[in-house]
């Protein structure tokens, strides 16, 4: 049976889940907030352990963005509890967010997260879901490569500013090679508006114009997405 992955722009599916913080119903548990659901292949594995430590160290940054975290793998609740206890005891890092236990794989299958190589392990994936329970971004990684947590923060922050200012974001924002800290304007969609763009904004062509957003928004972004290695 082919694996079906929810699409960007769709509502996050309704799921009843068991977690290390008790039973939850998604997405209702995070009503009015953004959330990141991220799956990992297995507890007690090296790459996943480093990811959980990094998510924990950046947890306050996610909270500043009105964003919650929730993990997922096909391990049992007992395994999750033992693993996060080990991380806190041995690595001195407390995991503050819930982890979904999915030993039957029902949640992973509903989200299209069963790994093709094994048929049972969850893939390393990320769903970014907004405060209206709409999926805004999906990321997939190979088993061997850990995620860049500041990039996930950058994506959440950028999506929120896109909503706020009606902008679109350039590559590497806020450190873009062409327009620096500025944001892009969506291209016009009619011939009447096209020639006006270079009169209204700076740019390289009518379809490639940019503008400023408040400096404090840019500086807050830079603070939020910095790497924390303490």
Mean pLDDT of 165-175: 97
pLDDT at position 117 is 57
What does the pLDDT read at residue 217?
A: 97
> How far is 71 from 93, CA to CA, in rounded Å?
16
Mean pLDDT over all residues of the chain? 94
| pLDDT tens-digit series, residues 96-118 | 999 999 999 999 999 998 866 55
Q: What is the pLDDT of residue 143?
A: 87
CA 86 to chain centre: 25
- Total residues belonging to the chain: 230
For the packed helices 149-165 and 46-57, what is the interaxial angle rounded to 10 degrees?
50
Task: Give the confidence band of 230 by pLDDT, cuts at 50, 70, 90.
Answer: low
Higher per-residue confidence, 51 vs 121: 51
Cα distance between residue 87 and residue 3, in whole Å:
32
Residue 149 has pLDDT above 70, yes or no: yes
Distances (CA, A) of 117 to 49, 72, 122: 21, 18, 10
2 has a pLDDT exceeding 60 = no
Q: Tell me, what's the pLDDT at 118?
A: 53
Q: What is the pLDDT of residue 30?
A: 98
pLDDT on residue 227:
83
Pairing of strands 99-101, 67-73: parallel
Is 110 annotated as catalytic? no
Do 9 and 125 touch, CB atoms closer than 8 A?
A: no
pLDDT band at 193 (very low <50, low <70, confident <90, very high): very high
Using DSSP bridges, classify how beta strands 67-73 and 135-141 pair: parallel, antiparallel or unpaired. unpaired
Query: Sign of the C-alpha dihedral, residues 121, 49, 56, 21?
Result: positive
Write down the catalytic residue from 26, 48, 74, 111. Answer: 48
Residue range 176-188: mean pLDDT, rounded = 97
Q: What is the pTM of this model?
A: 0.94
Residue 35's φ and ψ, nearest 5 degrees, are -150, 155
Confidence at residue 31, expressed as pLDDT on a 0 to 100 scale: 97
Spell out the domains of the chain, with CATH numbers in brackets: 15-145 (3.40.30.10), 159-224 (3.30.1020.10)
| Mean local confidence (pLDDT), 10-28 | 97
């Amino acid at each position: 049976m082919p694996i079906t992955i929810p699409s960007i722009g769709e509502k996050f599916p309704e799921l009843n889940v068991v977690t290390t913080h008790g039973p939850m119903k998604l997405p209702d548990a995070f009503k009015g907030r953004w959330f990141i659901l991220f799956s990992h292949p297995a507890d007690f594995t090296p790459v996943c352990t480093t990811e959980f430590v990094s998510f924990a160290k950046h947890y306050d940054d996610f909270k500043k963005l009105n964003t919650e975290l929730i993990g997922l793998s096909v391990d049992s609740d007992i395994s999750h509890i033992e693993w996060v206890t080990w991380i806190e005891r041995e690595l001195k890092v407390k995991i503050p967010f819930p982890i979904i236990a999915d030993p039957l794989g029902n949640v992973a299958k509903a989200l299209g997260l069963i790994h093709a190589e094994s048929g049972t392990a969850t893939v390393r994936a990320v769903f970014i879901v907004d405060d209206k329970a709409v999926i805004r971004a999906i990321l997939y990684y190979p088993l061997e490569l850990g995620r860049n947590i500041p990039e996930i923060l950058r994506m959440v922050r950028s999506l929120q500013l896109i909503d706020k200012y009606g902008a679109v974001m350039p590559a590497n924002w806020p450190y873009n090679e062409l327009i620096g800290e500025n944001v892009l304007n969506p291209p016009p969609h009619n011939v009447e508006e096209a020639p006006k763009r270079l009169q209204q904004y700076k740019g390289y062509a009518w379809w490639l114009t940019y503008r400023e957003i408040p400096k404090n928004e840019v500086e807050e972004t830079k603070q939020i997405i910095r790497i924390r290695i303490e």
